[in-house]
Structures are given as C-alpha cells and as structure tokens.
Amino acid sequence: MTTPEPADPSLEAHATTIRVVNGSAEMHARVGSCTGPEEIGIRPAAVQVEPPVPTCRRIDCSTLSSGEALARENECTGVACAPLRVDLAPGAADADYAWDGVYRTLSERNCYTPTIFEPGTPMLAHVCFGRPDGDYDLLDVTCSDHPFAYGTPLLEIELE
C-alpha cells in the first residue's frame, strides 16, 4: 500500500513518547500482541470513536469506488501465538511507547491516509490496564483517555 504525502507539505510529523508509570502499590498489566505491545492508541481529540482496524486482506486502494464501505473481514492467515501481556510492577515505568506522530485516517475499506496536524492540535492517548491473572488474563481492565497537544515530545501517564 502506498503512503500519500500529507496535504500540507509544510507540516512535519512530530513524534511523541508515551511513558506509563505505575504509581500504585499493585501490579498492573496491559495486553500485547504477536507483533508487539499494544493497547496504547493515539487519536485526535475531535475523533470520538476510533475507526475499525484494517481488514486482514490487502486491498489495492486505487481499485475502490468513492465512498465504498468498510468490509468487516476479520479472518487472518498467519502464525498464531498466545496472547502477550506487559506487566508493570509498583513504581515501575512501562517500556516507552513511541508514536511516530502520524495519525492514519480511514478513507475507504481498509485504506488509511496518513494525517499530520498543526502543532498544538488536541490529541488523546488511550491506555488500557488491568490486574494480571494467570499467565495471560487481565481482570478489572479500565481504559482512559489522556489529553496532550500534538508536538509534545513526552507524555507521562501515572496509574493509581
């Protein structure tokens, strides 16, 4: 899939590092995936709900008709793996999550257009943590949105 240039070439991507610190006396954990840690997401504050994730099939965006709806195909082929979990001990900081500063907006089906914002644009970091249980499970998962301005180099979130 090709990546189009931003609409305004004068805008540059501003990366943000998100650091989650466990400020509580209890162990916290978040879900990961086969390809790397997940469950920390970035979106513009103006976007109320994240669009669905891309489908598992690659689609040539140039073959789509204008306004074609997203197909909710979720069957993937690939190596299966057990769910991963990132544990965060009391007083510890999660491995920094580095967001590249580009938000991908759903355009058609599973085609996403990279979007770069003006510095200072209100953004939200969405984080989900729970209590570890067994080898993989999480109990009492809570998610929260943390505001920051586009262009902020570091966002530190403290879990209580």
CA distance 146 to 1: 31
Q: Please tell me the predicted confidence (pLDDT) of residue 152.
A: 95
What is the distance between the alpha carbons of residues 145 and 125, in angstroms, rounded to a whole number? 5
The DSSP H or E segment spanning 99 is: strand 97-99
Residue pLDDT tens, the chain, 160 long: 344 444 454 568 899 999 999 999 999 988 765 555 456 788 999 988 766 555 555 666 666 666 664 444 434 444 455 567 788 999 998 877 888 998 887 766 667 778 889 999 999 999 888 888 887 778 888 889 999 999 999 999 998 8
Read off the pTM. 0.72
Q: Provide the pLDDT for residue 2.
A: 40
DSSP-assigned states of every residue in 115-153: E---TT-EEEEEEEEEEEETTTEEEEEEEEEEEEETT-S
Q: Is 39 left (phi over 0), alpha (psi -120 to 50) or beta?
A: left
Q: What is the pLDDT of residue 3?
A: 43
Q: Residue 71 has which token pair? A: 């197909």
Q: What pLDDT was estimated at residue 104? A: 81
Q: Determine the pLDDT at residue 74.
A: 39
Report which of 33, 131, 53 is spatially closest to residue 90, judged by C-alpha positions. Answer: 131
pLDDT on residue 48: 82
Distance from the Cα of residue 62 to its chain's centroid: 26
DSSP-derived pairing of the beta strands 36-37 and 28-33: antiparallel
Place of tokens 């109320």: 48
